[in-house]
Each structure stands twice: as structure tokens, then as C-alpha cells.
Structure 1
Amino acid sequence: MTAALATHRGDGLPGALAHDAPPPAPVRRGRERSFDEPPRWQIYLPLGIYLVFTLVPFYWMFLFAVRPAGSTSLVPWPMTGEHFSKVWNERSFALFFQNSMIVGVCTLLATTLVALAGGYALARFDFKIKNLFMLALLCSQFIPGALMLVPLFEIFKNLQMINSLGSVIIAETVFQLPLSIILISGFIKNVPVTLEEAAWVDGCSRFHAFRAVVLPLLRPGLIAVGSFAFVHSWNHFLFALMFLSEQDKQTIPVGLNTLIGADSVDLGALAAGGVIAAVPVVIVFAFIQKWLITGFSAGAVKG
């Protein structure tokens, strides 16, 4: 019995081996850095420099917007709202904001609906000129909008749509559609066609199968396409300047241009107008950033 106990003691090892075995290695806690991973400062330093170059202009604009006229302080204190009150009430920025919102929302809806129909056709149907049509969509992205101003102006003039927000909405939608159709087509290709076929077997029509099966899966892609259409139409200056000559129909980019005089510039009012123009875009991206990143990921991965 004594020999058996001497032989089997410790952690189930023979007595001699258990006595001579080295102590277990200490457990290293915490995250171990890989040999291929660079030091943290090599990651955060470039990101910090980029962040400074990105945020300093915004801070400078905000500083001029809330700083009293004539002040040279680099700190936004004391703060004033006189510049915002001036551009919102005296410079008709309330009307410009409303017009820009109408153009942005209508362009978003029109672009998303038409791109959804076109993208589904490219993703699910085969026809003879499909590759040629895709090539035409890609090549249209190389055409600057300035080259199309004269023909578009003549078209809208014949349609009696000059000085109408509808002309800007149509022009913005047309220039957003090629890229939007290509993106939506890529999103739909990532949805397996077998899901639709299963719905067809259950008695659904093509439209009902698309609405019930495919459309819910396209939400990130639709949000990505719609957000780009809204931001582009909100910030675009050229079409609104050419097609809208009456002040009550102008948008925010054109309104900002009216704050720049021939001999002087009201920097406070201009900065306040810039803050007003930037706030909706920031709010939109703050709420949809999760869906936007998911949409980019879905479009980048081949299904």
C-alpha cells in the first residue's frame, strides 16, 4: 500500500516524476502582440494627423459662426447666435433650407426607385445588349455635369421647367442613376435566386416574391444608395445655379454663394450658413452609419 501511494501521488504521475517535474509555466494574461503587428504609435499617429487635418477646417468654420464680429479669439467663448439669426432670417436661409430638403428627399426617392427596378433587371435577366448597357453606364461616369448644362437647359426650357425645383430634381436623379443602378445590381446578385424560386413555388408572383423575399435583404444597399443621392443633391451647386434664377427657388449652395460679395465677405454669416448646410448631412450619416457600412460590405463581397 505504501509503495502504491508512493508510486501514484501528485497529479496522477509516478512519485519520482511528480517530485522532479518542473513547476507549471505561469499563465500570461493580457493581449500578446504579434511579431507582424506594428506598434500602436505607428497606427494612431497617422490617424491623429489625418483627424487634425479633417477637423480643423470644421472647427474654424464653427469658430467664425459662433464668435462675435471683430473677435480674434481662438476659443469659441463668449458665443453668439447673431450670425445664425442673420442668415436664417435676413438672408432667407430658411427658404433655402426648405428648397434643398425638397430637392434632396425627392432625388433620394426617385433615384432609389428607378435604380431598384434597373438593378433588378440587370441582376436577374439576360438580354443581348446587357454588357453594352453596363459599359454605357460605366462610361457615363466620366462625363462631367458641366458638359450637359446647355442641352439640359434647352430641354427644360422647352418643357417650361426653368425656375422649377423639378428641373433640378430630374437632373440630379439622371446623374445619380448610373452608379446607383450598378450598386443595386451588385446587391441583388448577392441574394440567392433560389429564395425567389422557393417563393414562386409557394404561389407568389415575381413582384410579390421580390417584395417579400429580396427587398428586406436589400435594406443596407438601398440606404447606401439613397444616402449618396441625398448628399450629392444637397451639396450640388451647378444645376441649382443654372436652372433656378429666382431667389425663392434657390437652394443652400446657391444661397451660400450670395453671401460672397464683390468687395467683401461676411465671414461670420458665411460660416453660419456652412454650419447650417452641414448639420443635416452629419445627422443623416450619424443615424445610418451602421446600415451604410453593412451596405458597403454587402456590395464588396461577391455572393
Structure 2
Amino acid sequence: MTAALTTPQPVVTPPPSEPGGSRKRRRSYDEPPRWQIYLPLGVYLVFTLVPFYWMLLFALREPGSDSLVPWPITGEHFAKVWNERGFDTYFVNSMYVGIASMLMTLLVALSGGYALARFKFRMRMPFMLALLCSQFIPGALMLVPLFEIFRELTLLNSLWSVIIAETVFQLPLSMILISGFIRNVPPSLEEQAWVDGCSRFRAFLAVVLPLLRPGLVAVGSFAFVHSWNHFLFALMFLNSQDKQTIPVGLNTLLGSDSVDLGALAAGGVVAAVPVVIVFAFIQRWLITGFSAGAVKG
């Protein structure tokens, strides 16, 4: 009886599993096949890059050529739009408007966003709702009131009229975005700075502002690109040719009877290059800024 109870039972060992089999099986359930990812991305990339290729093709190939490859490459169209059509002046004006609008938008949005994030007042939510609703108002609807205001202020045919209009129309969304970034900064960090003797303004500059750098880059880049590409305000508020911006300069290349496709494509390249350079240098900050403004569960 005792011997029967103490007899060891045979140990059943499972068959050897394939190395990494469970990992592969788990990945097959979690991730779709690679072709289901790369095929839609490839189609999207083709639809995105083909217009840019055609623009570069018309800008770089010789006049009258119908080749699908820009060879031999010529810079005749770029020289024409830069020297004869005044794109050197348009470029400087657009850069001035874009940088000034970006800085003014960030300055005002920082102060307003901090107030929305850190202070509680009675009309806070209705105010934020009004900011959101203002985004549904098209800019064309405000052209006549803005024109009358700038005429009374003698700002017509001045780049400052475009800068102020761009800043006003970009402020609501920029303020809401920056307030979301500030909410992600713990108030305890500012309180510790207050205990150390810092004022609220100094604590904001020393503690909060460095943590907002990715969000400020994201908001500022979109403010710059919007001001760079906007056509309507520059067309309505600027009269003389030496005050026009690049979008209006591109419109002057469209004739009533014919269109110089080479010059128009070269002007489009000149307009697109600064935006591409900006996003190429700040893409890391953009991704960080978007993740910083995300809602954490």
C-alpha cells in the first residue's frame, strides 16, 4: 500500500515549441499583414507626390518641351519669376508677414491660454465655446468690416493690415491649443517656484514656458504656414505691387488668354520650398507637441 502510494508517476513533457512561435502567433493576431499597411500608404504617396513632380517638371524643363523627364535642366523659369515678375519682393513680404503673424499669435495666445488653463472664472466655458464657434466664420464674411477699420486706421496698403488680420483669425484655435498644453503641466511645479520666491510671471518663464516648447513649435508652425499661404487678405488690403505677397504674385501669372506654365510652376516651387524646409526641421517638435496635447486616460 505504501509502495503504491510512493511510486513516482511519469512526467509528461510538452512537445518543444518553435522558437518565437508564441510571439509570431501573437503578432499575427495583433497586426495585419505588411502589404495591407504599405499598399494604401504607397497609393497615398503616389497621389501626393505626382502633383509635385509635375510642378517640378514644368519648372525645370526647357520651354516648349513635352518630355516627361526634365532633361536638360534649365533655370530660365526661375530667373524669369524672380527677376522679371517681382518674386524677390513677394518672397520678402511673405516672410515678413508670416514671421510677424506667428510671433504676435504666439504672444497673445500664450497669455490667453494661460488664463484659460490656470484661472477659473464665471464665463470661462461660454468664452471657450465662443472661441470655437468663431472658427466657423469664413474670412470673406469679415472683409468689409476689416476694410473699413483699416481705412480709418490708415493701415490700408500696409503689411500690418495683413498681419493684424491673420493674427486675429488664428488666435481662437491657437489659444485653445496652448491652453490644453498648459493644462498638461502640473500646477505643483509653479507652486514650488512660488515657495522659492518667484513671482507668477517669473515662475511661468522659468518653469512652464520651457515645457511648452513642443506645443509652441506646433502652433507657431501652423500660424506661419497659414499666413504664408493666405491669399484673400493680401489681395483686398494691399494695392501696390511692391507690397504684394507670394499668393497674389502667383495670381498675376495667370493671364486672361494664356498661362505661362513654366513660370507658374517655378513660382509654385518658390512658394513651397520655405514651407517644406520649415516642416523638415521641426517635424520632431511637431510630433512631440501633438503628443503633449493629447488627452491622457
TM-score by length of structure 1 reads 0.91
Unaligned residue ranges in structure 2 (runs of 5+): 1-7
CA distance in 2, matches of 1:64, 1:275: 10
CA distance in 1, matches of 2:194, 2:30: 51
Q: Does 1:278 align with 2:261?
A: no
Q: Does 1:148 align with 2:142?
A: yes
CA distance in 2, matches of 1:97, 1:175: 22
Report the AA paired with residue 195 of structure 1. Answer: L
1:300 aligned residue (281, 284, 294): 294
Report the AA paired with residue 193 of structure 2. Answer: A
CA distance in 2, matches of 1:155, 1:264: 37
Q: Which stretch of structure 1 is more off in the superposition, 147-156 or 31-40?
A: 31-40
2:183 aligned residue: 189
Shift of 1:23: 7.9
Shift of 1:138: 0.5
CA distance in 2, matches of 1:250, 1:25: 71
1:37 aligned residue (25, 31, 42): 31
Shift of 1:34: 1.9
Q: Does 1:250 align with 2:283?
A: no
Output one character per residue of 1:169-224: Cα deviation in whole Å (capped at 9) or x when no partner.
Answer: 00000000000000000000000000000110111000010000000000001001
2:92 aligned residue: 98
Q: Does 1:169 align with 2:163?
A: yes
2:44 aligned residue (33, 41, 50): 50
Report the AA paired with residue 123 of structure 1. Answer: A
CA distance in 1, matches of 2:208, 2:30: 42
1:199–1:22 Cα change, 3 Å: closer
Shift of 1:38: 1.6
TM-score by length of structure 2 reads 0.93
1:24–1:95 Cα change, 3 Å: same
Q: Does 1:62 align with 2:56?
A: yes
Query: 1:190–1:302: 8 Å Cα contact kept in structure 2?
Result: no
Output one character per residue of 1:226-253: Cα deviation in whole Å (capped at 9) or x when no partner.
Answer: 0010000000000000000100000000
CA distance in 1, matches of 2:265, 2:82: 12
Matched ranges for 1:21-36 at <5 A:
24-28=16-20, 32=24, 33-36=27-30
Q: Does 1:225 align with 2:225?
A: no
**Helix, strand or coil at the partner of 2:29:** coil
Report the AA paired with residue 27 of structure 1. Answer: P
2:3 aligned residue: none
Identity %: 79
CA distance in 2, matches of 1:47, 1:111: 34
1:87 aligned residue: 81
Shift of 1:123: 0.4
Largest Rg, 1 or 2: 1
**Helix, strand or coil at the partner of 1:300:** coil
2:229 aligned residue: 235
1:178 aligned residue (152, 156, 172): 172
1:17–1:257 Cα change, 3 Å: same
Unaligned residue ranges in structure 1 (runs of 5+): 1-13
Report the AA paired with residue 218 of structure 1. Answer: L
CA distance in 2, matches of 1:36, 1:100: 48
2:114 aligned residue: 120
CA-atom RMSD in angstroms: 1.8
1:162–1:22 Cα change, 3 Å: closer
Output one character per residue of 1:141-172: Cα deviation in whole Å (capped at 9) or x when no partner.
Answer: 00000000000000000100000000000000
1:269–1:30 Cα change, 3 Å: farther
Report the AA paired with residue 121 of structure 1. Answer: A
Shift of 1:24: 4.8
1:6 aligned residue: none
Q: Which stretch of structure 1 is more off in the superposition, 164-173 or 44-53?
A: 44-53
CA distance in 2, matches of 1:233, 1:122: 25
1:136 aligned residue (130, 133, 153): 130
2:192 aligned residue: 198
CA distance in 2, matches of 1:148, 1:63: 39
